Amino acid sequence: MPAFLAAVFGHRLRRPSSVLVLGVLLLPGTPGLAQSGRAAPSAADLLRRAQANLDRSPWQATVTGTLTAGTATQEAEVTVQVIGGTNSVMRMEFRKPAPLAGSVTILTDTDVWTYVFVSNQVVKELRASAKLNTLTQTVAGLGDLAGLADQITLTTGPKVQTAEGTAWTLLGTPGKARLPFASAAVLILERDPRPLSVTLKDGGGTTVGTLTIRDFKRAPLTARTLLAYPSDATVVQK
């Protein structure tokens, strides 16, 4: 793998479902109070609402954006399909960057399956001990907003206007966990609580990665479909 891709996608974190750290620039807003004059909801309450909404029924979306390491920027595009709640399953199909194109990562409550397209191999391992690259780790966080606060200290920021409607901003900084960013932000749609975009900045305030969640829709997904991989693939159990 090229050095740049190793730097961006090879960073390893402990929990594959607890980080949501990349996104788009924030728009100006008014912090502190909702437009009705009522106090803004807490970060914990916003996360709870969004998680409950995501878990209500299966959904799918496309995650797109860019990741920057040094002076080089790499595009990312991932199709995400999720069955939330108890016995959850998340399937991530990578289209960009090119070295990951065609590869698939599947997360369940207990396991991680990674299908590597170039080798036609499926690696199965326990989720508790799995070590995922940064892109996979970040996208996985979209289905586990409840775990976000475990690694990021969050506060409620301003309301902003987006193409999909009014959204709350969640502002965060790393807690005890070692994470590759200095500040993070998450936009949560107000009318239909779910993440719209997230932002990662370095210590100097420069945006080092962006991801946007688009084409969100409910879908009649089944665990059997989400767990599928090529029948001729070699399976490796770790």
- Which residues touch 228 (CB under 8 Å, ≥6 apart)? none
CA distance 223 to 217: 17
Q: What is the pLDDT of residue 36?
A: 52
Domain extents in the chain? 8-227
Q: What is the pLDDT of residue 11?
A: 39
Q: What is the pLDDT of residue 207?
A: 92
Owner of token pair 């969050």: 154
Q: What is the pLDDT of residue 135?
A: 83
- What is the topology classification, in CATH, of domain 8-227? outer membrane lipoprotein receptor (LolB), chain A (2.50.20)
Pair of tokens at residue 178 = 């070692």
Q: What is the pLDDT of residue 209?
A: 83
Q: What is the pLDDT of residue 37?
A: 60
Q: What is the pLDDT of residue 146?
A: 73
Owner of token pair 């990578």: 94
CA distance 126 to 83: 19
Pairing mode, if any, of strands 89-96 and 72-83?
A: antiparallel
CA angle 183, 200, 125 (to 5 degrees): 105
- Which residues touch 237 (CB under 8 Å, ≥6 apart)? 124, 125
Which among 79, 129, 87, 83 is positioned nearest to 105, based on CA atoms? 79
Pair of tokens at residue 119 = 């080798």
Pair of tokens at residue 174 = 């790393």
Going residue by residue through the chain, which has 238 residues, state the pLDDT in tens, using 9 for 90 and above.
Answer: 443 334 444 433 334 443 333 333 333 343 444 545 678 899 999 999 999 999 999 999 999 999 887 778 889 999 999 999 989 999 999 999 998 999 999 999 999 999 999 999 999 999 999 988 878 887 888 778 876 777 788 999 999 999 999 999 999 998 776 777 888 899 999 999 999 998 889 899 999 888 999 999 999 999 999 999 999 999 999 8
pTM above 0.75, yes or no: yes
